[in-house]
Chains A and B, each alone.
Chain A
Amino acid sequence: EDQVTQSPEALRLQEGESSSLNCSYTVSGLRGLFWYRQDPGKGPEFLFTLYSAGEEKEKERLKATLTKKESFLHITAPKPEDSATYLCAVPPNSGYSTLTFGKGTMLLVSP
């Protein structure tokens, strides 16, 4: 069974204190890894898709990277508005199945 594990479960940072979130996966034949941001009581917002090891994508203070077994979401000089739960998800390696989501990392950035 495909597994997606995110760590840490929660992370508290001071404004400007950079850090990284981790997403490890066990699916073989990765067909992509997705990062989402979810604010409380709202639907997840798509951030990035990564398709191959070594690939990197950036958006404002966020940078996502991918290796063969895990992905990192690096947050540089975060601001309070970056506070949210960050989810990663992977699709199955084949067939009509859909994304498996991790449980997320809840990020709180204090001013």
Chain B
Amino acid sequence: EAGVTQSPTHLIKTRGQQVTLRCSPISGHTSVYWYQQALGLGLQFLLWYDEGEERNRGNFPPRFSGRQFPNYSSELNVNALELEDSALYLCASSLTVRQGADIQYFGAGTRLSVL
């Protein structure tokens, strides 16, 4: 069974540009979560989508946004890139049974470098 897949694996952008990251969840999972992991820092929660709706949002500016499609895949968009956006962006998926307490399974991540 395929796990969570993310694309692309690596991205290099310059300040002010926009980027879109993609995530396909495990088959049967309806929730998708996005996290940012900057070098040396812990996982910072960005967004949670379930059944196409945004369920929760972390403490990030509005230039971080996303959406979930009818097939439960998801996109994370970051506008007006800043140097500090350089990080590993992780997507996770889960069933939606325990409302936030479900086991999350992670993809391999997208490494974003902003120059």
Q: Name A residues whose Cβ lies closer than 8 Å to a Cβ of B.
A: 31-32, 34, 36, 41-46, 49, 87, 91-92, 94-104
> How far is B48's CA from A87's CA once the two chains are assembled, in angstroms?
20
Complex contacts, A95 vs chain B, CB 8 Å = 99-100
Give the dominant DSSP class at B's interface.
loop
> How far is B100's CA from A91's CA once the two chains are assembled, in angstroms?
6
Do the beta carbons of B106 and A45 come within 8 Å of each other? yes
Complex contacts, B33 vs chain A, CB 8 Å = 98
Give the bracket for the number of chain B residues in contact with chain A: 20 to 34
Q: Name B residues whose Cβ lies closer than 8 Å to a Cβ of A.
A: 4, 33, 41-43, 45, 48, 55-56, 88, 90, 92, 98-101, 103-109, 111
Do the beta carbons of A46 and B101 come within 8 Å of each other? no
Do the beta carbons of A31 and B43 come within 8 Å of each other? no
> How far is B45's CA from A108's CA once the two chains are assembled, in angstroms?
26
A-B contact pairs, 14 of them (CB 8 A): A34-B103, A41-B88, A49-B103, A87-B43, A92-B100, A96-B100, A98-B45, A98-B48, A98-B55, A98-B104, A99-B45, A99-B104, A100-B45, A101-B43
B41, B42, B98, B103: the one contacting A46 at CB < 8 Å is B103
Complex contacts, B109 vs chain A, CB 8 Å = 41-43
> How far is B4's CA from A80's CA once the two chains are assembled, in angstroms?
27
B43, B98, B107, B111: the one contacting A32 at CB < 8 Å is B98
